[in-house]
Structure 1
Amino acid sequence: MPISRAVIATDSGARLIHRLCKHWAHKLEVEQEENQGRVAFEEGVCLMRADDAAMTVAIEALDEEALDRLEGVVSSHLDRMAGKEPLDIVWEN
């Protein structure tokens, strides 16, 4: 299973995780604790953890095609939830 990871500089990581988990909980299996979250998509899993300076997001998918698709889904939702805060999201696999 391919894995991709991004470390995103932000002091709003915990807030973003909370908003994403709340958003996806209506359709997907979501687990959330204080500064971390887990979202189970049909074709993979997204793990998120935040500290004071950054948010780390890891995606594990069934195959490379699904990984690329989930990177796009997670990136677009992060950008939307961040509002005016610009996020530099660089995926590494």
Structure 2
Amino acid sequence: MQQDFGHSGTFIHYIEEINQIKRANPANNVVSCWDQLKIGNCQMTLTSHVSMSTPKADGYMTQLSKHFAHKIKVERTGNAVVFHFSAGTVQALAEGDLLTLSAQAKTAEHLHEVENIVGSHLERFAFRENLRVTWPGETGVE
């Protein structure tokens, strides 16, 4: 049985990811967060993801990019954008009619903050199609 660790996924998935990094970089002395737990230096990052279908996925991502670029660091590469907020980051990926958002932060409070910032802006930009952004752990009306 896998134990759920909230927004960060399962612990088993985390260990598998660390082992892949170690196998790919055996000479780099990669020390995992698991190893660091013994000395209290672990800084885990919480993540959450949401995907929505919209015919304007790329357009909304561009609109978000232009809006936030006046306030924060925004990096765009092809069909992907990273928004760098002080509380955390949000990555957006537009693939056809699918827009996927991935939020990352060090605390649950900061994760909720960046989810709300990007989600509320996207909902305002997409008001004509009544797009709703419902992050994991939220209840929303679709």
Asked whether the two chains share a fold, i.e. TM above 0.5, the reply is: yes
* 3-state secondary structure, aligned to 1:21: helix
1:12 has 2:56 as partner: yes
**Helix, strand or coil at the partner of 1:90:** coil
Which structure carries more relative contact order (alpha carbon 8 Å, separation 6+)? 1
| 1:92 match | 136
Which letter maps to 2:93? R
Q: Report the Cα distance in structure 2 between the residues aligned to 1:21 and 1:53, rounded to whole angstroms.
A: 18
Cα-Cα RMSD: 1.3
Q: Indicate the structure (1 or 2) with the bigger Cα radius of gyration.
A: 2
Q: Which structure shows the bigger proportion of residues in helix conformation?
A: 2
Q: Report how many residues are paired.
A: 93
2:115 corresponds in structure 1 to: 71
CA distance in structure 2 between the aligned counterparts of 1:85 and 1:34, rounded to whole angstroms: 25
The residue aligned with 1:31 is: 75
TM-score, normalised to structure 2's length? 0.61
Given the alignment of the two structures, is residue 80 of structure 1 paired with residue 127 of structure 2, yes or no? no
Cα shift readout 1:16-59 (whole Å, capped 9, x = no counterpart): 11000100001100011332211000010100001112100000
Higher strand content, 1 or 2: 1
CA contact (8 A) 2:104 2:111 kept: yes
In 1, Cα distance between the equivalents of 2:61 and 2:77?
9
